[in-house]
A and B are shown apart, each in its own frame.
Chain A
């Protein structure tokens, strides 16, 4: 009797699990996850009845690799950086996604043409452009304010601590740009050993003032605590701290490094069909434009651009805060994913050795 009871409860549980469908979406946490929950997850559940569980990681590419290799995948959709998306795809850790199946723009332009060049890959669909910029607390600068990437590395002109993401990516490029290398030549220079030494030498000029951060939510915190005078950061995090929490933070766009975030489906995802539905839904024109209501990241579809309006406070115009705004693009660098796929190991090693050396 007892056994049948247990069995029937278990069966009922199974049946329940099958009818009330849910998917797990992994992202980067903080204001960014919140923007996705508001713009994608909630409307998706409303429309389809499929519940969306949101989980976060410092970099979702890592748990994907771990889960797929262990054969125990719990994530259905993950949000990853471009170089990671390409790498995961090459290593067969994520499913191919047919770009032609994505919804067309409202005017009928097929998705393959509507997405900005370089936003669609074999296994990944881009949602936003984001960028690594540097930012400062305006209240700490009564006089002259930093305006260029050189100023970030100039501790004689602006003495104080600097926050940087612990890792080679973005730091090497910014150091070279601050050292006078034009944006379009950065990766060519960085391919040579002399270029790497040059970047490290430039970073070395501020080494004793660097405070390293790892999670995207840290830089606004470091600025707010007064722990650093300036810090590199993901532009959306700084914008949200400024717009939603009224922090006097200012973004310096000179020398920004643009990157994409893309949706991928890990191989062996428990709800592959629903995951694909979620990606199709979330990357349509309106949804991408909606996300900009919550964070200042640029939509990956051309047709979303004109739909971007005000921040959710109802007064801040979003367009000038987008990394892709023409005024912000004057000295911008597009992250070269092939370069990083190739040189990540070598440069990370050099970077780690440099950090560890006193």
Chain B
């Protein structure tokens, strides 16, 4: 709107002067004024929603992204040393550096922030947290020469790795959390290198999450397609009844459904008991269906199935049965009519369902935490670990940002390959 009004004004200033409204203002100006008012009113109408989205969505995500590169645990609490690093780039720590360090240790111990400082350095050089806390306890009694005094406390204070970590941490912003989230580390000599194979965790877990999510989306499609078709073609009364069967679990709490699966799947559970009583498996060889990948896939498939059925159903309802009949009458066999005529018309529903299930699955964490054991853990469980156990929120934020990036990438790919406007959610 704005563009049209503006270019109109700019391109024809001469004519605007000739046309005037009843009260003498130029018509163009009056129109622009009216359009502006309408725009403002429209904006006011969406303002509550906009404010809501900004407050509850954009701001927290922005804050999370910021946290993934910012950690001022060291820089905010060690002012003297930070100043020394700024004034002496590229120099080895000398007596004045140690003096600054000793002053800051005393300061941080006094302010009870020494743990924050130690924790920050400990992320990069492990085993150094107590170096800080124990030195903090004695920092007030340290005397010059500080270098010797500190090295007397612990020789680790002379370690080049520690000093390079402190120098890096003296900036409040760091890419280190992203580097760690990609299973890399900073080597003082070689730059960014991969961590040893047995310590790689996030990248393999990321691919596993993608793989499991794809499998779940695939199974949901296989199971959901016939159900949606049945719902769409049955008489209204029957299909409404069936619809309730789809929606009832959909409305049940996620935790209730997950724990129900635990009751069913555990080795002394219902499914195994039935199999044993029919003699299909031996009592001492019960099948392990839970606390592994199988448990995650089974429970999540069930939980996410409605997200596949509903969009499929809404698309299938709009497909006139006459198309398939026409195909049959023109000589197509059952399969051809289905594959060449029916399925292509359901693609918007398939796209929406698969994308919805896949994206939801990628971010799942409660269900894998409860039934996933170790092989059924997903990427989100690692985020939860850093949020709630290791309390390294910067790391959690970096991992979450990577996941967000991956989803946006997939969304973009989907748009390029199939087209987002070709998707129908319901």
Residues of A whose CB lies within 8 Å of any CB of B are: 58-59, 61-62, 65, 87-92, 161, 167, 191, 210-212, 214, 225-227, 338, 341-346, 348-350, 352-358
Contact = CB atoms under 8 A, between A and B. Distances in A.
Interface in B117-140: 118-119, 122-123, 126-130, 133, 136
A225 B268 CA distance: 7
24 contacts: A61-B391, A87-B119, A89-B115, A90-B115, A90-B133, A91-B112, A91-B113, A91-B119, A92-B115, A210-B374, A211-B291, A211-B373, A212-B291, A342-B126, A342-B127, A342-B128, A345-B390, A346-B126, A350-B199, A352-B382, A355-B374, A356-B201, A356-B377, A358-B375
Contacts of A214: 369
Contacts, number: 95
A343 B127 CA distance: 5
B126, B128, B382, B385: residue with the most chain A Cβ atoms closer than 10 Å: B126
Interface of B: 111-116, 118-119, 122-123, 126-130, 133, 136, 198-201, 204-205, 208, 266-269, 291, 369, 373-375, 377, 382, 385, 388-392
Given A349-B199, A355-B374, A356-B377, A227 B388 contact: no
B374 A212 contact: yes
Nearest to B134: A338
Contacts of A91: 112-113, 115-116, 119
Contacts of B266: 225, 227
6 cross-chain pairs, A with B, having the tightest CB-CB distances, nearest first = A90-B115, A346-B126, A92-B112, A91-B115, A353-B201, A226-B268
B389 A167 contact: yes
Contacts of A210: 374
A225 B112 CA distance: 46
Contacts of B199: 349-350, 353
Contacts of B269: 225
A92 B377 contact: no
A353 B374 CA distance: 11
A61 B266 CA distance: 31
A336 B413 CA distance: 51
A59 B266 CA distance: 26
A44 B374 CA distance: 43
A73 B120 CA distance: 24
Contacts of A355: 374, 377
Given A342-B130, A355-B377, 15 more contacts: A59-B388, A59-B389, A61-B391, A62-B391, A90-B136, A92-B112, A92-B116, A212-B374, A342-B129, A343-B127, A344-B390, A345-B122, A348-B390, A355-B374, A356-B377
Contacts of B375: 358
A318 B389 CA distance: 33
Contact of A90 (B114, B267, B374, B377): B114
B89 to A, nearest CB: 28
B274 to A, nearest CB: 16
A349 B201 contact: yes
B313 to A, nearest CB: 38
B201 A90 contact: no
Nearest to B200: A353
Contacts of B123: 345
Contacts of B200: 353
B397 to A, nearest CB: 13
B111, B116, B374: residue with the most chain A Cβ atoms closer than 10 Å: B374
Contacts of B268: 225-227
A348 to B, nearest CB: 6
B113 A346 contact: no
